[in-house]
Amino acid sequence: MDILQCMRAFTAVAGQSSFTGGARQIGISTKLASKYVARLEEHLGAQLLHRTTRSVTLTDTGQAYLERCLPLLDQIDELEGVIQERQSELGGLIRLTAPTGFGSRELVQALMPFQQAHPKVQIEMQLSDHHVPIVEEGIDLAIRFGQLQDSTLVARRLCDMRRVVVAAPGYLARHGTPATPAALTDHNCLLLQPSGQPDHWRFHEGAATTEVAVGGSFRANSPRAVAYMALGGQGIARCPYYTVQRFVEAGQLQLLLCAHEDAPLPLYVVYPPSRHLTARIRALIEHLAQWFRTAPLTSLGD
């Protein structure tokens, strides 16, 4: 019996409270995950999980075992990373999560040269417009924008990203160009739903900061969806600059209220403080930091 394989299956199932979810996390079948956990329980002579048709929960013994399993498995991963470093060849799996729009293009562009340099590293990317609980999901790294909500995570700042207000020339010809942030209240504003207050846009007025209540006929949880709606002349949008740069440069969208732009939005890579960083994970963090320093978001295409 491969005790490490059984331990990994157990920790995944316990973290997901589900044999199906745990099996999916480590890339095996539900039947095999159940088999590994049963073997582990037989080996230990103790029940680790309570099983019902609807849920899986830890026994007291299972909780105590899990608390010792997690750091042990992290140390084993770290040990493998040390060997890989000595051999100058990285390998193994990295689980990564990121926002859907950003992850599907900008992050992929950053990851391609890393995988070309380290072909034995496998990257599993989970894209979501909601914050994925990285500890519970067994995620190694998360890419996140803005102020971090979870202060327990370790964060590395990758770069800052402009947030710009844009509209199509056709829309401005029909409805006029707002000269001040307050004038936005008279316009159809296209709202980005995941932001903290999508109907309140913040601006700088000299040394002061002000918020303008905005509203309109369209909102979406994707910056690119909002940008394309603005491109079609449907209203005024506030977007990350990388989503609209090529349209601005082509004259298809016009920047508005540049003198009043809010502070840039920081981009971070985060990970749990208890996670022992293997060589491959450390290498990816350094690669991303270097990539976004030399290829900032404002120069990326759409």
- pLDDT score, position 198: 78
> How far apart, in whole angstroms, are the C-alpha atoms of residue 156 and residue 93?
21
- Range 112-122 average pLDDT: 93
Statement: residue 229 has pLDDT above 80: yes
CA separation, residue 44 to residues 3, 12, 65, 79 (Å): 10, 18, 10, 25
Query: CA–CA distance from 280 to each of 56, 207, 271, 289 (Å)?
Result: 32, 44, 14, 14
For 190-220, write each residue's pLDDT tens digit. Answer: 998 865 677 889 998 777 889 999 999 999 9
* Whole-number Å distance between alpha carbons of 287 and 289: 5
Taking residues 32-47, what's their average pLDDT? 90
Concatenating the DSSP letter of every residue in 134-148 gives: HHHHT-SEEEEESS-
Predicted confidence (pLDDT) per residue in 138-176, tens digit: 788 999 988 777 677 889 999 888 899 999 999 999 999
Report CA torsion sign: 121, 126, 131, 137.
negative
Return the percentage of the chain with pLDDT > 90, whole number: 44
The values of phi and psi at residue 42, to 5°, are -65, -40
What does the pLDDT read at residue 112? Answer: 95
pLDDT of residue 88: 57
74-107 confidence digits (pLDDT tens): 888 777 666 665 555 788 889 999 988 888 888 9
Rounded to whole angstroms, the Cα distance separating 117 from 112 reads 9
> To the nearest whole number, what is the mean pLDDT of the chain?
86
Collapsing DSSP to helix, strand or coil, 171 comes out as: helix
**Overall pTM > 0.95:** no
Residues 122, 93 contacting (CB under 8 angstroms): yes
Domains delineated in the chain: 3-68 (1.10.10.10), 89-159+266-299 (3.40.190.10), 163-263 (3.40.190.10)
